[in-house]
Amino acid sequence: MTARPVSPRDRLILALDVADLNEASILLDKVAGRVGLVKVGLELFTACGPAAVRAVRERGIGVFLDLKLHDIPATVAGAVKSALTHDVAMLTVHTGGTSAMLKAAAKEAGDHLMILGVTLLTSIGQDDLASVCLAGSPSDIVVKRATLAADCGLRGIVCSPNEVQPIRRAVGDRVAIITPGIRPAGAEMGDQKRAATPAAAISNGADYLVVGRPIRDAADPGAAADALVDEIAGALGTGR
């Protein structure tokens, strides 16, 4: 089980967004020992299933399984039960799934697995909300959903680095805050809209940063991970 991160490196989560086990192994060998956790997401898990989790665990790295579960409570509870057999540290559910679904996930996980609530994808901007029948600002929505998640017993929240402070004010230290949408200064934004630099995310109070393309697509992924850890350490005022 993953506790609060202790070192700057523990706070860095690589999003292993690759298509197959061969690509995964190549990237994992480059970053082993240089990131805290590895996030296995929809692309790789759909392609390879639990073998993707094993590839990460074989290298002694903890797994964040990012399946963003969103279904009826019984189905989500069943998926959490299955995830418990895969030796993963964190698993995501979507907070749009109502309190009954969130409570079912938290209950099934118990103390064995951190269930994280995804509030609003960081690729969604203000202009997208009306088209999916959501009213208010991204910030209003994520604070309400984060509060619901914490009240339902989830142990972490996934949100934009720009929303950490209002969420912390609403839920205090009850939950860990995990932020994707991280872009080092000058990096390509890709499809991310509510993004920030690693230093800004840490200064805002994020516990963990999820970084995919800025590491995966770097000429030297290991060096890119080290530079991110250095930036995190700088923002915390500690050594690596």
Computed on alpha carbons and rounded to an integer, the radius of gyration of the chain in Å comes to 17
Q: Does 180 bind ligand C5P (CB under 6 A)?
A: yes
Residues in the chain: 240
Span of 2-10, 94-102, 139-147, 210-218 interacting with ligand C5P by CB under 6 A? 210-218
Q: Are 143 and 167 in contact (CB under 8 A)?
A: yes
User: Which CB atom, from 8 or from 180, has the smaller least distance to ligand C5P?
Assistant: 180
Task: Using the Cα atoms of residue 107, residue 111, residue 113 and residue 115 in order, give the sign of their dihedral.
Answer: positive
Q: Are 215 and 14 in contact (CB under 8 A)?
A: yes
Report the candidate in 209, 212, 205, 223 with the shortest Cα–Cα distance to residue 187: 212
Alpha helices in 6-163 (DSSP H): 21-31, 42-48, 50-57, 73-83, 98-109, 138-151
Of the residues 68, 81, 103, 107, which is catalytic?
68
Distance CA 155, CA 149 (A): 8
Query: What's 86's DSSP letter?
Result: G
> Residue holding tokens 């979507």?
94
Span of 2-10, 56-64, 97-105, 174-182 interacting with ligand C5P by CB under 6 A? 174-182
Q: Find the binder of ligand C5P among 40, 212, 231, 232 (CB under 6 A).
A: 212
Q: How far is the CB of 8 from ligand C5P (least distance, A)?
A: 18
Q: Find the binder of ligand C5P among 14, 15, 157, 225 (CB under 6 A).
A: 15
Residue 134-173 contact track with ligand C5P, rule CB under 6 A, x = bound: ------------------------x---------------
User: Which CB atom, from 110 or from 190, has the smaller least distance to ligand C5P?
Assistant: 190
Q: Find the binder of ligand C5P among 118, 141, 143, 164 (CB under 6 A).
A: 118
Q: How far is the CB of 142 from ligand C5P (least distance, A)?
A: 9
Q: Does 190 bind ligand C5P (CB under 6 A)?
A: yes
Active site residues: 68
